[in-house]
Amino acid sequence: SAGLGFSQTDGLIFNANISQKNFLGSGKHINLGFNNSSANTVYSFGYTNPFATVDGISQGFNAFYRKTDAKASNIANFNTDVWGGDVSFGIPISENNRVRLALGYENTDLTLGTNPIKSYQEFVDQEGDSFDTWTLSLSWSSDSRDNAVMPSRGMSQSLSAEVATPGGSLQYYKLRYKNNWYHPMTESLTMALHGNLGYGDAYGDTENLPFFKNFYAGGIRSVRGYKSNTLGVKEDDQSLGGNFLVTGGAEIIFPVPFLKKKLRSVRLSAFADVGNVFDKDQDFETDLLRYSAGLSAIWISPFGAMSFSYAQPFNEQADDEIENFQFSLGSTF
pLDDT at position 2: 79
Mean pLDDT of the chain: 93
What are the domain boundaries of the chain?
A: 2-332
- Residue-wise pLDDT for 163-214, tens only, equals 999 999 999 999 999 999 999 999 889 999 999 999 999 999 999 999 999 9
Question: Does residue 9 carry a pLDDT above 90?
Answer: no
β-sheet bridge partners, residue 21:
none
pLDDT band at residue 331 under the 50/70/90 scheme: low
CA dihedral 129, 64, 240, 127 (to 10 degrees): -20
Report the pLDDT averaged over residues 16-44.
90
- Residue-wise pLDDT for 146-177, tens only, equals 998 899 999 999 999 999 999 999 999 999 99
What fold does the segment set 2-332 form as a domain?
Porin (2.40.160)
In the chain, % of residues over pLDDT 90? 76
Secondary structure letter of residue 242 according to DSSP: B
Cα–Cα–Cα angle for 298, 299, 301, nearest 5°? 155
- Residue-wise pLDDT for 230-242, tens only, equals 999 999 889 999 9
Q: How far is residue 210 from each of residues 36, 78, 203, 214, measured CA to CA in Å?
A: 25, 13, 11, 7
β-sheet bridge partners, residue 14:
4, 36
